[in-house]
Amino acid sequence: MLVLGIETSCDETAAAVVRDGREMVSSVISSQVPIHKRFGGVVPELASREHLDKIVPVVSEAFERAGVSAREIDGIAVTVGPGLVGSLLVGVSYAKAMAYALKKPFVGVNHIEGHIYSVAFENPPIEYPAEALIVSGGHTNIFFIPEPGKYKVLSRTRDDAAGEAFDKVAKLLGLGYPGGPIIERLAREGNPNAVPFSIPRMGDGLPDFSFSGLKTAVTKHVRESGLAPMENGGEPSQEIKDLAASFQHVVVQSLVRTMERIAEEHYPRTLIVAGGVACNGKLREVTREMAAKLNLPVYFPSPHLSTDNAAMIAAAGSVKLLAGERGNLDMNADVTLRLQNVDLEEEAAKRAGVRYRL
């Protein structure tokens, strides 16, 4: 089965052709980073205009690189949400028009579910139940997945996403955008124990995340230590490298310790870490150590599939298309789309063959 994936939820225009939900035949990503860079973040209006300009050439290139024609595909999968409304609309309208013209089935995919399926490539098949940390510029959640397509959010951020914290801290240190890769590079030469930031914990004891306090602590440290933010093109000081390493250390500890706590309570058979921040080498290293301690396999997407792409959307969409799911032509972008939350006790009872009398 050949599926065309389309992703335009934020600042990448992407299209991919995927065979049988696991084999990437082609994947094209047109990044808007150079456009948004000078604003230090994504400008929604510019993003949707750019998607409009790029969608046709990006999809054509995905077909060209795959060596297949549009008529040969079996279906189309497109991101319907969550994301920026103007951006999502470009992909959704394009996918619907294409499906209608070609008389092919299509499905809408939740962007977060797409990130989870990014590990379908280059990893053994996922064994369920699985625990997935999705960590990007817009999201930081841990899902428990009793079986394919069923999700329970067990942890969420109360304020900023982890990637957003990387971006904001990089901005206040004058390091550029996007902040994640820059901070990771500087952190390699810094001391992670130089500045003792503490891991944020929730007053109510829930395994949730909070990163805005950490950003405030970095701001306070910069002010109190008289640290000068970087000027354009200068060599970063050792203090900035130490600060980058210390900040990254707490973010990684907060993410991995929470994953560990949930794994100990819910007994998953596979751990998954996906989303833009999953590119981070330190996060991978510390997660692998934790997984080895718990004797669990951990799957990461390869780095080019960690940030937004359409192959992951095609992979998630393939499962839905195979299950007979079909989108209607009145399908619309859904900015705040959430994965449906299942009741874990009910799911466990179903697996054990117990029937509920309602």
- The residues that touch Zn ion, with contacts defined as CB under 5 A, are 136, 308
Residues between 8 and 67 that touch ligand KG4 (CB under 6 A): 10
CA–CA gap between residue 170 and residue 181 (Å, rounded): 10
Closer residue to ligand KG4, CB minimum distance, 68 or 303? 303
Nearer to Zn ion, 83 or 200 (CB): 83
- Residue 156: CB atoms within 10 Å: 15
Q: Does 179 interact with ligand KG4 (rule: CB under 6 A)?
A: yes
Task: Report if residue 114 touches ligand KG4, rule: CB under 6 A.
Answer: no
User: Between 184 and 260, whose beta carbon lies closer to ligand KG4?
Assistant: 184
Q: Looking at beta carbons only, is 109 or 218 nearer to Zn ion?
A: 109
As a whole number of angstroms, the distance between CA 268 and CA 177 comes to 35
Chain length of the chain = 358
Residue 178 binds ligand KG4, judged by CB under 6 A? yes
192 binds ligand KG4 per the rule CB under 6 A: no
- In the complex, least distance from residue 14 CB atom to Zn ion, rounded to whole angstroms: 10
* 270 is a site residue for ligand KG4 (CB under 6 A): no
| Distance, CA of 162 to CA of 156 (rounded, Å) | 11
Asked if residues 14 and 58 have their Cβ atoms less than 8 Å apart, the reply is: yes
Q: In sequence order, what are the beta bridge partners of 112?
A: none
DSSP assignment of 17-83 equals EEETTTEEEEEEEEE-HHHHGGGTS--HHHHHHHHHHHHHHHHHHHHHHHT--GGG-SEEEEEEESS
3-state secondary structure of 295: coil
Stretch binding ligand KG4 (CB under 6 A), from 96-104, 204-212, 269-277, 330-338: 269-277
CA distances from 346 to 152, 154, 350 (A): 12, 16, 6
Report CA 19 to chain centroid distance, whole Å: 22
277 binds ligand KG4 (CB under 6 A): yes
How far apart are CB 278 and ligand KG4 at their closest, in Å? 8
Taking residues 119 to 158 in sequence order and writing x for each that binds ligand KG4 by CB under 6 A, - otherwise, the string is: -----------------xxx--------------------
Minimum CB separation of residue 225 from Zn ion in Å reads: 34
User: Residue 30's Cα: distance from chain center in Å?
Assistant: 17
Q: Taking CB within 5 to 8 Å according to partner kind, which of Zn ion, ligand KG4, none is near residue 277?
A: ligand KG4
Question: Considering beta carbons, is residue 8 or 270 the nearer one to ligand KG4?
Answer: 8
Counting contacts by CB under 6 A, is residue 307 touching ligand KG4?
Answer: yes
Residue 108 interacting with ligand KG4 (CB under 6 A): no
In angstroms, the CA 26 to CA 7 distance is: 14
Could you tell me which stretch among 176-184, 222-230, 334-342, 348-356 binds ligand KG4 (CB under 6 A)? 176-184
Q: Name the CA radius of gyration of the chain, rounded.
A: 21
Residue 92 zone, left/alpha/beta (φ > 0; ψ -120 to 50; rest): alpha
Q: How far is the CB of 182 from ligand KG4 (least distance, A)?
A: 8
Q: Which residues bind ligand KG4 (CB under 6 A)?
A: 10, 136-138, 163-164, 166-167, 178-181, 184, 275-277, 279-280, 307-308
